[in-house]
Structure 1
Amino acid sequence: MKIATMQSHIVAVPPPYIGGMYWIFVTLQTTCGIKGVGEVYASTFHPEVMVKVLDDVFDRYLKGHDPHHIERFYRECYSSGFTQRPDLTMMGAFSGLEMACWDIIGKAADKPVYELIGGKVHDKLRSYTYLYPTNSKGEYDYECPDLAVECALKNMQQGFTALKFDPAGPYSAYSGHQISLATLERSENFCRKIRDAVGNNCDLLFGTHGQMTPASAIRLAQRIEPFDPLWFEEPVPPGQPEAMARVAAKTSIPIATGERLTTKYEFHDVLKHKAASILQMNLGRVGGILEAKKIAALAEVYFCQIAPHLYNGPVGAAASIQLATATPNFLIQESINTWDGFHAEVVEDKIDWRDGYIIPNAKPGLGISLNMDVVKAHSPYTGKRLHLIMDSKVYNEHSNTPG
């Protein structure tokens, strides 16, 4: 079996852009006609740049090769250009292509991928969602705790048993910084009000997206500890596990991290420094399914758990579901609401979500296929914004104005 062709699809996500501004899908086809689909979660550059990266990686390292040879493909990409180190852009491109290879492998074997990477451990996967509160104008409003409570109750009634929110923003290119007393108070207030509303029916997942210095993160952790969050996510910027470990040592709240990391090497740094006990790899960036499985095994040795990150499209979600289903130390999977809206429209069959859980299907490969009519109708992406952005200005926390 040989890989013959590749096609990339940059799909513009319609407003309100839940899951990012666009999704990068790739499809592969073998000489014998088997098709596979994958998704790239790499947002350093405009997607037009990623199309060229994907073309280059495919032509150099995958075209004409057997899709089963994942280890060979990984090592050649990882070492490309005499690099041999974690590279977000390369591993993003590799991840999407690797997923598509696994989709082909599963279809050729007539088995879901989870049966090929250890076999089913979980019949259903606990899931959580971000809170997406809307005001009276129908606009998303992340500043009002009362709207967050209203949204939390709605999600709890749908069946979610874990809810994530991030009142400690904004996301600044100049982080980490010391957050203000007002932000500390707002974060504490969010936790108090949501905990009072949901009681012990839902875990609270506190996100921060790496905005703080270790000293500031410790101050915030002390404020929210009484509300017993399941985790404190990315308290400091990525890339310095020693700094995150200082936070972990000063709080009883489990630290979670990983959405911006790639490969087993960066995750091993987190584990060996005792910086986090919950790893949140995104399969469209981390190195694909096999690399994520290796990271999960490393975490198992340290008695840590995985909670795959997902703020992109449903193909990356399908890959995460395969991993989670076959992983003993799986904790929880990020969902985007109940996989409705555009996440359901862009695929032939939506992800099966019931009463707070994702139900893995038994279809071969990744168990998902694109609705190409919808893909074509939303291609190409003509915007200039990246998938996600950070504020380019210095943020003055004490005046609450850019400056």
Structure 2
Amino acid sequence: MKIAELKTFVVGNPPPAFGGRYFLFLKLKTACGIEGVGEVYAASFAPKAIVAMIEDVFERHVLGADPFRIEALWRNVYGRGYTLRPDVSLMGVLSGIEMALWDIIGKAVGRPVYDLLGGKVHERLRSYTYLYPDEPGSHAYSDSPVYSVPDAAAERALKYVAQGFTAVKFDPAGPYSTFDPRQPSLERLALSEAFCKTLREALGTKCDLLFGTHGQFTVSGALRLARRIEPYEPLWFEEPTPPEAPEEMARVAAQCRMPIATGERLTTKYEFARVLETGAASILQMNLGRVGGILEAKKIAAMAEAHYAQIAPHLYCGPVVGAANIQLAACSPNFLILESIERWDGFQARLLKKPIRWEEGYVIPPEEPGLGVELDEAVAAAHPWDGTALHLVPRFGPVEPPD
């Protein structure tokens, strides 16, 4: 069995665009006709550049390769160009390709990927959603009170709880910037505390609160914020300091009563090993479209298990990464919770021939072979993206108080 073809898709995500402006999918096809789908989560270049990277890696390493030889292919891509170090864009490309290879392998042997990585240990997977606004087309900070008004956020959270969610995530700490880390403003400290207080009073013990930040703060700034929100028992305090220096995040973890979560911007076992060795976090949020793929994520989950840490796969992209996250979560004993884009409905569902199964707050792992999902190419083709914007754009320049 040899890989013979590559097809890429840059798909625009129509309003309300939950999960990002666009998604980057790829398909690999063997000479005998088995197809596998993958998704690349790379945000540091425009999609046309990422597609060129995918094509380059495919031509040099994947075309004609045996899809079962994932370890060898992974090492050859990881070390290409005399790198042999975590490269976030290259690992995003490798992640999507590796994901598609596992899809092919699973289909070739007629088993879900989780059965090939130790077997299912969770019959259902607890999931959470970000607090997305009700208003059609609204997703910017300035667009919706859900992002800035605690009562509006609590009202939205109650609707999610009524649907079956037992955890919601929100991030009132303000915008992230290319000049981070910094001190939080007094305004944002007060707003963050008000969010946690209002949500806890509205939800009681029916729902966990997941407090998100994006590495905005210095150690002392993160600790100032932590002291304000700790009384409301968030399940985690996410990425309180930038991910480049886990030893600094470890100083927050050592002085904070909340669990620290991190990992959406990290890639490979090597970066996650530093998180675990320094004690920077006890909840790892690897994104399988960036971290190096499914097998790399399984290795990280195993390292975490040995450190009594848990995994909570991150998702801010499309449903193919979501499907890979599900495969990893299903076979990982130390799985905690899975990020969902609401209930996997809307455009996320339309992109798949059979939607991801979500029931009363839980994702049900599929029984189908491979990743258990099939990309609907007609829907993907009907929503092309030809823009030049990056997937995520921080504020360029310092954030001055009050923000």
Give the TM-score, by structure 1 length: 0.97
Matched, 1:367 2:403: no
Matched, 1:241 2:246: yes
Which amino acid letter does the alignment assign opposite residue 61 of structure 1? H
Residue aligning to 1:108: 108
Equivalent residues, number:
398
> How far off is 1:68 after superposition?
0.5
Which amino acid letter does the alignment assign opposite residue 208 of structure 1? T
The residue correspondences of 1:329-344 to structure 2 (distance < 5 A) are 329-344=334-349
Q: Is the 8 A contact 1:135 1:147 kept in 2?
A: no
> How far off is 1:334 after superposition?
0.2
Q: Is the 8 A contact 1:133 1:147 kept in 2?
A: no
Identity of aligned residues (%): 58
Residue aligning to 1:389: 393
Q: Distance in 2 between matches of 1:7 and 1:52?
A: 12
Change (3 A) 1:186 1:298: same
The residue correspondences of 1:238-317 to structure 2 (distance < 5 A) are 238-317=243-322
Matched, 1:19 2:19: yes
The residue correspondences of 1:2-401 to structure 2 (distance < 5 A) are 2-134=2-134, 139-141=143-145, 142-379=147-384, 381-398=385-402, 400=403
> How far off is 1:144 after superposition?
1.0
Which amino acid letter does the alignment assign opposite residue 275 of structure 2? V
Q: Where does the alignment leave 5 or more consecutive residues of structure 1 unmatched?
A: none
**Residues 233-286 of structure 1, C-alpha deviations (whole Å, 9 max, x = no match):** 000111100110010011110000000000000000000000000000000000
Change (3 A) 1:137 1:35: closer
Q: Distance in 1 between matches of 2:135 and 2:326?
A: 33
Q: Is the 8 A contact 1:134 1:147 kept in 2?
A: no
Q: Distance in 1 between matches of 2:304 and 2:8?
A: 33
> How far off is 1:96 after superposition?
0.1
> How far off is 1:136 after superposition?
10
> How far off is 1:397 after superposition?
1.6
SS at match of 1:395: coil
**Residues 188-228 of structure 1, C-alpha deviations (whole Å, 9 max, x = no match):** 00000000000000010000011111100001101111000
Change (3 A) 1:394 1:192: same
Q: Distance in 1 between matches of 2:202 and 2:317?
A: 29
Q: Distance in 2 between matches of 1:273 and 1:114?
A: 30
Q: Where does the alignment leave 5 or more consecutive residues of structure 2 unmatched?
A: none
Q: Distance in 1 between matches of 2:355 and 2:155?
A: 26
Q: Distance in 2 between matches of 1:328 and 1:24?
A: 30
> How far off is 1:393 after superposition?
2.7
Q: Distance in 2 between matches of 1:386 and 1:368?
A: 26
> How far off is 1:140 after superposition?
3.1
Change (3 A) 1:137 1:22: closer
Q: Is the 8 A contact 2:16 2:137 kept in 1?
A: no
Which amino acid letter does the alignment assign opposite residue 163 of structure 2? Q
> How far off is 1:135 after superposition?
6.0
**Residues 46-92 of structure 1, C-alpha deviations (whole Å, 9 max, x = no match):** 00000110000001111101001000111001101011000001110
Q: Distance in 2 between matches of 1:95 and 1:135?
A: 34
Give the TM-score, by structure 2 length: 0.97
Q: Is the 8 A contact 2:17 2:137 kept in 1?
A: no
**Residues 25-48 of structure 1, C-alpha deviations (whole Å, 9 max, x = no match):** 010000100000000001100000
Q: Distance in 1 between matches of 2:158 and 2:50?
A: 40
Which amino acid letter does the alignment assign opposite residue 396 of structure 1? E
Q: Distance in 1 between matches of 2:12 and 2:169?
A: 25
